[in-house]
Amino acid sequence: MTGADLLCAELEAAGVTCVFGVPGTQNIPLYEALRRSGLRSVVATHELAASFMAGAYFRASGRVAPLVTIPGPGFTYALTGLAEALHDSAAVLHLVGAPPPGNPRSQFQGLDQRAIASPLVKGVRRIERPDEIPARVAEALDLAVLGEPGPVLLEWLPGALAAAPSGPLARPPRGRAPSPPPAQVDELRSLLVEARRPVLLVGQGAAEAAPLVQRLAEWLPAPVVTTCSGRGVLPEDHELSLAFDFPRGDVGRLSGFLRAADLVLVLGARLSSASTWDFALEIPADRLVQVDASEEVLGASYPGRLLVASTVELTLDRVLGGISPGDTSASHWTAAEVREHRRELRTTASHAIPEPIVHGVEPPEASAFFAVLARSLPRNGIVVADSGLHQLLARRHLEVLAPRGLIVPSDFQSMGFALPAAIGAHLGAPDRPIVALVGDGGLAMSGMELLTAVQERIPLTVVVFNDGWLNLIRIAQLRTFGHATGVERRNPDFGALAAAVGARFARVEGNAQEAVDAALGSRDVTLIELRVGDSGAMRRARARGLARGVATAAMGPEAVAWLKRHRGRA
């Protein structure tokens, strides 16, 4: 057994079933060991796509699928995916050969990988001898999944994989998440029992505890707000779900709602910039209780009265386990109140980004297409969206009905994410139908991953929003200046593209339901083209932008800002 064989065996023993990557000169021994192992090896067209696959695999399943690259250019291609995983709390184990010793500038493909990767990963570990492999794999996996999940770089020296182990192999026990302190459990239980207006704010870290979250919400009862990544932890058609997301509501209204609560229990949510609308969300410190597996997360963005360092699953299990069948809470929420708050919080803000028209559906609006998708997609389906206008439309109109049911690059917003991420999500959750929503700009970045999906025989529905623009950026330009620049796209014939890679193709031309049903019912890769155009609201936004640009040029930005303030518009 070589070190490469041992590495694969240790990954299998840890429950790993799949790896993503690209073979190259420096990792040939590892790919030979992968061939002999029971691990599924998925080869992407490039390392960036492979890194998105690995991150989405974790986000769909809660399990790790390692990323394998060569050092040098393979390593650097994957960096954006590592940053995305770090920001989106996705555990990724990046396996890569260590750079040659000496001055990196003098070495072939030499880089100081540790210095480059350190800001993007939770830690860097190195395998220097084959005997170290079991300990280093266990250490790296624990670092990736325990606390706040994130990426870890595990380097190996060439001899560590080529040689056979010579000494005893020590496989250390895997780490465990800490249990919540009993005193904090008792305090939290008391706060919940006594609260008259409790609210649950739920993030991705509560996905594994979804049944417990629902049980607690129903027992209190308490309305539930989620972050974007936490959507579906409580199904959004549940009577206690407020189904709020920033593209479909207003942060000011949500802040007002939380100020009226007497307890805000934050479960598995990092309260990052993306999940709080750049920290515009207001949560009173004297009412905030936060439960998170990472001590670094607790109180980092918002101070609270009680901070519990444990997983949501362990904490709610202890809290609910101490509640007797006859116990009742002091919550005064009524079903009518929750419905009214849901209606208010779902009212789109006046300053929201205007929507385009969508051709081929009736009425020609984004909501009509997402209604079609909702009728076709089973409750446990997963929608993966790229960065762009289509993501905002999906978050505004789509109801998420299962945990991990919406995967977007929420905290780093990488374009080109959705298609490779959908491949990773399918392999992480093969029993759940997957739909990838992609802008034409995002498809230009990662569209050749259609080849990977076809080669791997992955049933996948890919919807490309064809508007001929980088439209989210274009709209921002039009609203600000009345002009757009650098955002026009020349798109290919999407039907010809699908045929070239061996995928099925459909264009939405009044047949949306038929096209989506057929794609989701197929075991093939299907590319669906959805044509998008400018709406009256977008044209009005451009006209206002032109007027603003003229006024700014004539009066100067300071005078325009003064006028806005005094008209109550800024």
Tell me if 564 is assigned to some domain. no
How far is it, in rounded angstroms, from Cα 9 to Cα 469?
Answer: 47
Q: Which of 406, 410, 411, 398 is nearest to 422 (CA)?
A: 406
- Residue 244: per-residue pLDDT: 95
How far is it, in rounded angstroms, from Cα 188 to Cα 321?
Answer: 13
pLDDT above 70 coverage of the chain, percent: 98
Tell me if 101 is assigned to some domain. yes
Tell me if 32 is assigned to some domain. yes
Same domain, 370 and 518: yes
Tell me if 408 is assigned to some domain. yes
**Distance from the first to the final alpha carbon of the chain:** 68
pLDDT tens-digit readout, 78-93 = 999 999 999 999 999 9
Same domain, 340 and 365: no
Tell me if 548 is assigned to some domain. no
Neighbouring-strand partners of residue 241 = 224
How far is it, in rounded angstroms, from Cα 347 to Cα 176?
Answer: 43
- Residue 325: per-residue pLDDT: 84
DSSP symbols for 237-253: TSTTB----GGGS-HHH
- Residue 550: per-residue pLDDT: 80
Identity of residue 406 = L
Query: Where residue 256 sits, what CATH number does that domain have?
Result: 3.40.50.1220
Tell me if 567 is assigned to some domain. no
- Residue 158: per-residue pLDDT: 85
The better pLDDT of the pair 330, 560 is held by 330
Query: Where residue 148 sits, what CATH number does that domain have?
Result: 3.40.50.970
Same domain, 187 and 336: yes
pLDDT tens-digit readout, 500-535 = 999 999 999 999 999 999 999 999 999 999 999 999
Boundary residue ending a domain (345, 368, 393): 345
For 524, other C-beta atoms within 10 Å of its C-beta total 16
The better pLDDT of the pair 351, 340 is held by 340
Identity of residue 45 = T
Tell me if 553 is assigned to some domain. no
- Residue 570: per-residue pLDDT: 40
How far is it, in rounded angstroms, from Cα 561 to Cα 64?
Answer: 50
* The two structure tokens encoding residue 119: 């800001």
Instruction: Kindly tell me if the per-residue pLDDT of 312 is higher than 50.
Output: yes
The better pLDDT of the pair 146, 546 is held by 146
Q: What are phi and psi of 472, to 5 degrees?
A: -65, -40
Same domain, 405 and 454: yes
pLDDT tens-digit readout, 548-562 = 878 777 777 776 666
- In the chain, helix, strand, coil percent, each to 5? 45, 15, 40
Tell me if 569 is assigned to some domain. no
Instruction: Kindly tell me if the per-residue pLDDT of 31 is higher than 60.
Output: yes
pLDDT tens-digit readout, 476-485 = 999 989 999 9
pLDDT category at 349 given cuts 50, 70, 90 is confident
pLDDT tens-digit readout, 368-413 = 999 999 999 999 999 999 999 999 999 999 999 999 999 999 899 9
pLDDT tens-digit readout, 398-453 = 999 999 999 999 899 999 999 999 999 999 999 999 999 999 999 999 999 999 99
Q: Which of 84, 206, 74, 207 is nearest to 151 (CA)?
A: 84
Parallel, antiparallel, or unpaired for β 198-202 and 151-156? unpaired
Boundary residue ending a domain (345, 379, 412): 345
Same domain, 385 and 471: yes
Q: Is 285 helix (H, G, I), strand (E, B) or coil?
A: helix
DSSP symbols for 104-173: GGGSTT---HHHHHGGGSSEEEEE-SGGGHHHHHHHHHHHHHSSS--EEEEEE-HHHHHSPP-S----PP
Same domain, 363 and 309: no
Question: Where in the sequence is the domain holding 424, given as residue range(s)?
Answer: 357-540
Same domain, 97 and 239: no
Same domain, 420 and 280: no
Same domain, 259 and 361: no
Instruction: Kindly tell me if the per-residue pLDDT of 105 is higher than 80.
Output: no
Question: HEC states along 348-374?
Answer: CCCCCCCCCEECCCCCCEHHHHHHHHH
Strand locations in 9-120, DSSP E? 18-21, 40-43, 67-69, 92-97
Identity of residue 298 = L
pLDDT category at 569 given cuts 50, 70, 90 is very low
Asked if residue 462 lies in contact with residue 422, where contact means CB atoms within 8 angstroms, the answer is: yes
Which letter does DSSP use for residue 443 in this model? H
Into how many domains does the chain fold? 3
pTM score? 0.95
- Residue 566: per-residue pLDDT: 60
Q: Is 452 helix (H, G, I), strand (E, B) or coil?
A: helix
Element (H, E) at 505: strand 504-507
Mean pLDDT, the chain, integer: 94
pLDDT above 90 coverage of the chain, percent: 87
Same domain, 340 and 362: no
Same domain, 417 and 458: yes
Neighbouring-strand partners of residue 96 = 69, 155
Asked if residue 331 lies in contact with residue 232, where contact means CB atoms within 8 angstroms, the answer is: no
CA distance to 141, 463, 477, per residue, from 308 (Å):
23, 41, 44
Rg (CA), the chain: 25
Q: Which of 68, 80, 156 is nearest to 117 (CA)?
A: 80
Same domain, 137 and 261: no
Parallel, antiparallel, or unpaired for β 18-21 and 67-69? parallel
Instruction: Kindly tell me if the per-residue pLDDT of 567 is higher than 80.
Output: no
- Residue 98: per-residue pLDDT: 93
